[in-house]
Amino acid sequence: MVAQVLTAKHVDYLPLYRQEAQYLRAGIPISRATLCSWLGQGEYWLSILAEACKMALLEGAILHADKTPLPVLNPGSGKTHKAYLWVYRSRGDAPIPSSSTLMPRTAKASIPKASWETSKGFCKPMIMGATMPSTAKGVSQKPGAE
């Protein structure tokens, strides 16, 4: 049920008051407060899962990053601004090969530093074509340097 409420809210853009009405029509009286509680609990558990995925992603020596610009509605103004969706991918030989997406709240095109600064190795932006050294302590500044 929690997954259904999360999917309806964030994928189908169905507000909780409409979900409440749908369940009531189906003969299942679930209050909006209960739906809101389930939403919060589901987002809590998903945030733990997302953090575990991020940590697995950062275990590898090389992290590939790709940005995609997209228009995002600026709330209240009716105008859009350019934002960036980041996709991260570990190499196939990483302990746990994985990928992740991140859409930071800022409109900056630079790599969100907080998302890769704990990496044990290097972040290679696929669009920029340059290797950026990790800021993690004990990591060399150039590939192969000791």
Write out pLDDT tens, residues 97-126. 777 776 665 555 555 555 555 555 555 555
Amino acid at 64: H
pLDDT tens digits, 23-62: 999 999 999 999 999 999 999 999 898 888 888 877 777 7
pLDDT at 30: 96
Average pLDDT score over residue span 18-25: 97
Q: How much is the pLDDT for 31?
A: 96
- The pLDDT value recorded for residue 103 is 63
pLDDT at 124 (0 to 100): 56
**Burial readout 45-54 (b: 16 or more C-beta within 10 A, e: otherwise):** eeeeeeeeeb
pLDDT tens track for 72-95: 887 788 888 888 888 888 877 777
Instruction: Give the Å distances, CA to CA, from 106 to 10, 60, 110, 111.
Output: 20, 26, 10, 11
Domain ranges of the chain: 1-48, 60-124
Beta strand 62-74 pairing with 79-90: antiparallel
8 — pLDDT class (breaks 50, 70, 90): very high
Q: Write down the pTM of the prediction.
A: 0.57
Report the alpha-carbon distance of residue 69 to residue 84 in Å, rounded. 4
